[in-house]
Structure 1
Amino acid sequence: MRKTTFCSVVLLSLLALAVSVFAQAQPQATAPKYFFVSLTRPSNAPQLSKEAGEKLQEEHMANIRKLHAEHKLVIAGPFTDDTALRGIFVLQADSLTQAQEWCNSDPAIKAGRLAAEVHGPWLIEPGTIHEPAGTSQGMEQYTLVLMKRGEKWDPNAPGFMDVMKQHPAFVKQMTEQGKMAIAGPFPFTDPGELRGVAIFRVGTEESTKLAQDDPTVKAGLLKPEIHPWITGKGVLAPGMAMQ
């Protein structure tokens, strides 16, 4: 009886050791990387006939559906104001280079009707992006705020980081109050004027006022650029109904 018990203990110990070694050998899950893409209309975009424009738009939308089906595109939507900014993509990719390659495959970008500017990784909470329950959920309105370098943006200035550290608390407050759907910065290594993006669940007028309460905006480190924007219902926390 003792011999059987001893053998059982040895076998269980060896099994536990094998499981432990196997678990350590497995690659650790890494957090997904998201890349924010602004889509603009170039000043020298080619002029197309109505038929050619409609055909290109159909191909553009088909590519969006393809990227989404491949779990590469997690957010997409157009701006509803009349500026050179036409829309955004948010891609889940391994690198900025890979995200840029996926953008370059878009027919509208190939044709020169759109230009893609990729930023990232966009440092957001993955849980703020959702997979819609169905394919015909409709659209919802939001306010997208591009947080650009302000007049006093200087990472080397005394007190700069002290102000920047206050920003997450502001985002948390806006999220808890139901005002904000998603927000996040880009790494300091990301070049360019755009330093982060926030998407509010309220209209442009209220979003403008709320953005002014951001400590980084008050201090002149960041400057908000406000745009009305729409995306598929269910992708983010509920926005405003389409009018």
Structure 2
Amino acid sequence: MTKNILLLLLLITAMGYAQQPNPDYDEAKAKALNADEHGMKTYVFCLLKTGSFTTSTQEERVKLFEGHMANINKLSKEGKLVVAGPFMKNDRNYRGIFIFNVSTIEEAQAIVDSDPAVKAKLFEAELTLWYSTAALQEITKLHDKIAKSKF
């Protein structure tokens, strides 16, 4: 008898956690963003760390960072980069992140290899698959509406 009551309680609890349809669901938007049934998709998360090339002059660094920023803007316009940004000073040698709108490490590695600061070994990149909201791809459009000036 106790087993039956326990099973019944377990069943009632499980029913409470059953997935409910989303009344705000937009099928066209979900398809356009390649979202799965949960509104999610796979990206590649990139952690940029201080690289092995530390003897560059200030002039070289400025040139590398100009190329780095130009590459970021190009990748963003192409829809391959959905988020990028630097970390504040820290004791872990973390410099920044990229979130690439690709689904494999190999695709992301090819993109990272196009960055002048990575090529020069000013940064090194660690890549890992990441599962997050497909809506993240819309961030750039929103950012363009709130940025008074651009890099």
Q: Which residue of 2 aligns with 1:71?
A: 79
Instruction: Give, in angstroms, the shift of residue 124 of structure 1.
Output: 1.0
The residue type equivalent to 2:81 in the other structure is L
Q: Which has the larger radius of gyration?
A: 1
Runs ≥4 residues deviating over 3 A: 28-32
Task: Compute the TM-score of the two structures, normalised by the length of structure 1.
Answer: 0.42
The residue type equivalent to 1:88 in the other structure is I
Instruction: Give, in angstroms, the shift of residue 50 of structure 1.
Output: 1.1
2:110 counterpart SS class? helix
Query: Which of these residues, 55, 60, 70, is aligned with residue 52 of structure 1?
Result: 60
Cα root mean square deviation, aligned: 2.5
Q: Which residue of 2 aligns with 1:41?
A: 50
Unaligned runs of 5+ in 2: 1-30, 36-40
Distance 1:138 1:89 in 2: 22
Distance 2:68 2:145 in 1: 18
The residue type equivalent to 1:113 in the other structure is L
Instruction: Give, in angstroms, the shift of residue 132 of structure 1.
Output: 3.4
Q: Which residue of 1 aligns with 2:141?
A: 132
Instruction: Give, in angstroms, the shift of residue 125 of structure 1.
Output: 1.5
Unaligned runs of 5+ in 1: 1-27, 140-231, 233-243
**Sequence identity of aligned pairs in percent?**
35
Distance 2:103 2:81 in 1: 13
Task: Compute the TM-score of the two structures, normalised by the length of structure 2.
Answer: 0.65
Distance 2:61 2:128 in 1: 28
Q: Deviations over 1:137-167 (max 9, x none)?
A: 169xxxxxxxxxxxxxxxxxxxxxxxxxxxx
The residue type equivalent to 1:137 in the other structure is A
Instruction: Give, in angstroms, the shift of residue 45 of structure 1.
Output: 2.0
Q: Which residue of 1 aligns with 2:98?
A: 89
How many residue pairs get matched? 111
